[in-house]
Amino acid sequence: LMLAEPMSLERLRRVVDKRFLAYSRFRQKAVDTASGAWWQDDADFDLDWHVRPAALPGRGNGRGVRGETAEKRALERFVSQMASTPLDKGKPLWQFHLVERYRGGSALIARIHHCYADGIALVQVLLSLTDTARDPGKDKNLARAWLKQDGAEVARRVGAVERYTKLGGRMLGKGMEMVQDPTLAA
């Protein structure tokens, strides 16, 4: 994401904490074992590990056409490096890297594993980090405000996935009880 105005790391952390983490799934890590896969709350969740500063090497002063081109290439190299670096499976599988000074504003690189949602839903979750106006108002429900009706529908579906996952877990538990004691099936 290219931001027209500079953003500080502290401000980004506040936005991620308030808006991104409003979706409880992003505080969870995927656990995959021989007996199955499930979501588990990360007891050691650390926002500072997930929202990190980044610097572009060799970008110079960024002035003029050559400077902007070099800066863009440096950002592209950094994004390529991040795309080919695996996320830590012992933590929730996402990170934000903020380049605080990029072309007069900032650049934000989001790394989110596809296990959290499909591409369209993730794009819309990312849009929930942004506002359509400079001053959005204090009491707005930001998790559903970003794309008006379309966004509310996606937020509803993302919440439904969480509910269905919990229901599936309960059904699996009951099924395991019936396997252990077949008389329960009656």
Q: From the CB of residue 59, how many other CB atoms can be counted at a distance below 10 Å?
A: 19
Helix (H), strand (E) at residue 143 = helix 142-145
Spatial strand order in the sheet of 94-102:
2-3, 105-112, 94-102, 51-54
Q: Please give the C-alpha separations between residue 125 and each of 72, 109, 114, 142, 172, in angstroms, as whole numbers.
A: 25, 14, 13, 11, 29
The Cα–Cα gap between 42 and 87 comes to 15
User: Catalytic pick from 50, 97, 113, 114?
Assistant: 114
Residue 50 falls in the annotated catalytic set: no
Dig out the tokens for 70 from the structure.
Answer: 């070099």
Catalytic residues: 114
